[in-house]
Amino acid sequence: MTKLHTKLVLVTLASTTLLGLASPIMAQELKKTPDLTKDFSQTQASQASSFTMPSGYPEELNSLTEDTRSYVVIDQDTHKVLMEREGNKPYPIASMSKIMSVYLTYKAIEEGKIKLDDKIKTPESIVRDFTDNAELSNAGLVTDAEYTVQDLLYGIMLASGNDATTLLMSHIYGSEQEAVAAIRRQLDEWGIENYEFYTTSGAPNKYLPESYWIEGSTKDSQNKMSAADVALMAQYITEKYPQILELSSAREYTMAKDSDHPIKMANNNLLLEGAQYGRPGVTGLKSGYTDEAGKCFVTTTTENGRKMIAVVMGVQEPYSSYEETKILLDGLNKHPELYQLEGLATNLLPTQAEKEAQAAKKAAEEAASKAQAAGSKEENVENLPNRRNNPFTNFMRSIFGIFN
């Protein structure tokens, strides 16, 4: 161990549930101690390539913490990997998944399919299957109550509401399954390939009725990505729709505030300025927790004047994902010029469009090469000497009329 830890009793942003209709939401997302021995296939994880730090990399940055299974810190402008441990290996990501649902919501708004002030009525099935499920974090939706799209977005980001996520995605796409398919298409477009995505909320299948499962999934199916890909996903989302940071940096919000059932939520991100591990540059973003995932958090921040994205995954009890993130960022701040180090790997991947363009270019080059080779062959045939014009063939031509 390289540091002293104090046991923390804290409530994470993604680990919340409703304790009272008018009280801040303060509870664990899944009320169990992380059991990382239940992690998915270690063989699958070990097959992923690891980042290699170049010569001249500060050795002390490799040993700042031993209590986080996987992490990366990315410089946004250059995509350079400034810090990492198993950053390229996919692990369960739990409620960090929810930022994809927020992305698709803003995309639907941009396309004119929905508006922020549209009201959505809550069916009994959402309350039965999610809100009343004590194993899940929820915003506390009420049957037949109406919530605006904006209400539900805050319910996703502040309360980590599985009920709010599923209701909103089903409203936009018609079903959980179609919404998951849309998420997969978007990840594919970004060039992210080494992932598994089964639910819009990040809740493992085992906590959901089978009617929400996508075809081919099982009870053990759950969302998985690498820390590097989570960081890339977060960068795409925050750069395309920076308004998500307004949600993630809000200190509190009340859903349906003028109704008979207002729901007050508090932001429990302990990295926000003024909080226990607060930093002036932090704007978000999202936490997650399940048995297999452990405590996770993806942070958007500005450090030494540069935008950074930090992802920690698999933090074990009694430690905090917020404290682990602070340790990494504090260590990084001692090396403000690290992003300039030559040879640092990046987490940037070629997009689907770029890969298709490259494939088309390669096919065109191969076709041109074949055409050139064929033309060269024809030219060689035309330049062959006429071996029929000799004394023997001339004699046979004159007597028998052959070789004409």
pLDDT in tens, 75-101: 999 999 999 999 999 999 999 999 999
Do 91 and 140 belong together in one domain? yes
Domain assignment present for 266: yes
Type of residue numbered 270: L
Do 141 and 197 belong together in one domain? yes
Do 251 and 327 belong together in one domain? yes
Do 225 and 365 belong together in one domain? no
User: What's the rounded Cα separation, in Å, for the pair 160 and 230?
Assistant: 17
Does 376 score more than 90 pLDDT? no
137-184 pLDDT tens trace = 999 999 999 999 999 999 999 999 999 999 999 999 999 999 999 999
User: What's the rounded Cα separation, in Å, for the pair 151 and 118?
Assistant: 10
Do 141 and 40 belong together in one domain? yes
User: What's the rounded Cα separation, in Å, for the pair 78 and 347?
Assistant: 9
33-43 pLDDT tens trace = 455 544 544 43
316-334 pLDDT tens trace = 989 999 999 999 999 999 9
User: What's the rounded Cα separation, in Å, for the pair 268 and 279?
Assistant: 14
Show Cβ contacts of residue 267 under 8 Å, excluding neighbours closer than 6 positions.
13, 158, 248, 249, 250, 251, 252
Domain assignment present for 292: yes
The whole domain housing 261 covers: 36-349
Q: What tokens does 246 get?
A: 């307004």
Count of domains forming the chain: 2
Label residue 258 exposed, middle or buried (CB < 10 Å: 0-12, 13-18, 19+). Answer: exposed
Q: Which CATH number characterizes residue 54's domain?
A: 3.40.710.10
Do 336 and 374 belong together in one domain? no
H helices present in 277-351, as ranges: 321-332
Query: Higher pLDDT residue, 11 or 283?
Result: 283
Do 123 and 231 belong together in one domain? yes
Domain assignment present for 30: no
336-345 pLDDT tens trace = 999 999 999 9
Domain assignment present for 29: no
Do 157 and 234 belong together in one domain? yes
Q: What is the DSSP letter of 343?
A: T
271-314 pLDDT tens trace = 999 999 999 999 999 999 999 999 999 999 999 999 999 999 99
Do 344 and 357 belong together in one domain? no
Closest to 127 measured CA to CA, from 116, 135, 119, 139: 139
User: What's the rounded Cα separation, in Å, for the pair 101 and 120?
Assistant: 16
Do 393 and 269 belong together in one domain? no
Domain assignment present for 18: no
Domain assignment present for 16: no
How many helices (H) and strands (E) would you count in the chain? 11, 11
Closest to 227 measured CA to CA, from 306, 298, 326: 298
- pLDDT band of residue 74 (cuts 50, 70, 90) is very high
Q: Give the SS3 label for residue 303.
A: strand
Does 30 score more than 70 pLDDT? no
103-130 pLDDT tens trace = 999 999 999 999 999 999 999 999 999 9
381-399 pLDDT tens trace = 666 666 666 666 666 566 6
Chosen domain end from 333, 349, 365? 349
pLDDT at 28: 34
pLDDT at 6: 38
Do 387 and 306 belong together in one domain? no
Domain assignment present for 26: no
Domain assignment present for 1: no
- pLDDT band of residue 48 (cuts 50, 70, 90) is low
222-265 pLDDT tens trace = 999 999 999 999 999 999 999 999 999 999 999 999 999 999 99
Do 344 and 360 belong together in one domain? no
